Amino acid sequence: MEEKKRIFSGVQPSGTITLGNYIGAIKNWVDLQNDYECIFAMMDMHTITVRQTPAELRKRTLELMALYIACGIDPEKSTLFIQSHNSAHAELAWVLNCYTYMGELQRMTQFKDKSSRHADNINAGLFTYPVLMASDILLYQTELVPVGKDQMQHIEICRDVAQRFNALYGDVFKIPEGLLVKSGAKIASLQEPTKKMSKSDPNPKGYISMMDDFNVMAKKIKSAVTDSEGVIEYRPDDEAKAGINNLLSIMAVMTDSTPEAVAREFSGQGYGTFKSAVAEAVVEGIKPIRAEYDRIIADKAYLQDIYKRGAESAARIANRTLKKVYKKVGFIVD
């Protein structure tokens, strides 16, 4: 039997999970589970590049896991674990730090962005964050990494570092590829539609949290910034149309359609009618997830059993790679 290709991905439990995270990443993972061997983690180690409240971080890590499962990630099919439970991530990150250049890291837009937002805490972890992310991916000999567009630059650097390491020591790492969803790889802010929807947006009207009250979700969509043209058309390259393009993409994903088809369906109608339809589709899509979520989050023993088993299988795979790396660089391993 041909072995299934391996997938790795994860979300940071750093704040609320947005509709962007769901559409750009988690929803896509659900579809991939049947055809690939999937490993999904809660990336808690990444979150401390920005100060977190410890008790909240613990709570959000479990909530994120419950949300993965509620969205349709099946723990019997996919491996689910908490990043900090597998020390191989930190260990490989140290090694790869020594094979990554300052200049490469300085170019990362997320670093530039986060260091301007947290000017009082530009720590070394924030700078080397992509190396930890590369380690997450490379430890599992991952072939595909399903992420949103904003993470593609990190996948590029991961590939570069892996290729550099392989060039020195032979085929140690599989070279991974990023995998984007067809529509929705970059869900935009509802208030500033040329920017991405982000959980760190100081204006909560800009994003939809998967945990928002359903009325609030609908309200946010109905007050989404659009344009004054009054025409429902999908013009992905036209910035003036960014708001409408975004709503079309959201609607397309929530109704299993395409932005073009949705635009045809609503052509000639007013923005108000269209926004109400989008709001309804989003709320109806999230409702069953929330019901599942409420059930799962109440069962801590179930969650604990899954993340413990997950950490064991993750460690088994990761330690093989780590041992190989240690040997190659000259550490005594046996």
For the annotated catalytic residues, the residue numbers are 114, 196, 199
Q: How far is the CB of 289 from ligand TYM (least distance, A)?
A: 16
Among residues 117 and 300, whose Cβ is nearest to ligand TYM?
117
Q: Is 151 in the site for ligand TYM (CB under 6 A)?
A: yes
Q: How far is the CB of 301 from ligand TYM (least distance, A)?
A: 27
CA dist 226 and 248 (Å) reads 11
| Sheet strand arrangement including 37-42 | 79-82, 37-42, 6-11, 144-146, 177-179
Widest Cα–Cα separation across the chain:
71
Among residues 41 and 279, whose Cβ is nearest to ligand TYM?
41
Please pick, from the candidates 147, 157, 289, 303, the single residue that binds ligand TYM as defined by CB under 6 A.
Answer: 147
Phi (first) and psi of residue 9, to 5 degrees: -160, 175
Q: Is 150 in the site for ligand TYM (CB under 6 A)?
A: yes
Q: Is 187 in the site for ligand TYM (CB under 6 A)?
A: yes
Residues 229-268 touching ligand TYM, rule: CB under 6 A, are none
Q: Is 24 in the site for ligand TYM (CB under 6 A)?
A: yes
- Name the one range near ligand TYM by CB under 6 A: 21-29, 92-100, 101-109, 165-173: 21-29
Residues 100-139 touching ligand TYM, rule: CB under 6 A, are 133, 136-137
Among residues 23 and 314, whose Cβ is nearest to ligand TYM?
23
Q: At 40, which helix (H) or strand (E)?
A: strand 37-42
Q: Is 79 in the site for ligand TYM (CB under 6 A)?
A: no
CA dist 45 and 116 (Å) reads 21
In the block, tokens 């999230």 appear at: 286
CA dist 29 and 145 (Å) reads 10
Q: Which amino acid, 319?
A: N
Contact criterion met (CB below 8 Å) for 64 and 34: no
Q: Is 275 in the site for ligand TYM (CB under 6 A)?
A: no
CB atoms within 10 A of CB 25: 22
DSSP summary character for residue 191: S
Q: Which residues contact ligand TYM by CB under 6 A? A: 8-12, 20-21, 23-25, 43, 46, 133, 136-137, 145, 147-148, 150-151, 185-187, 196-197
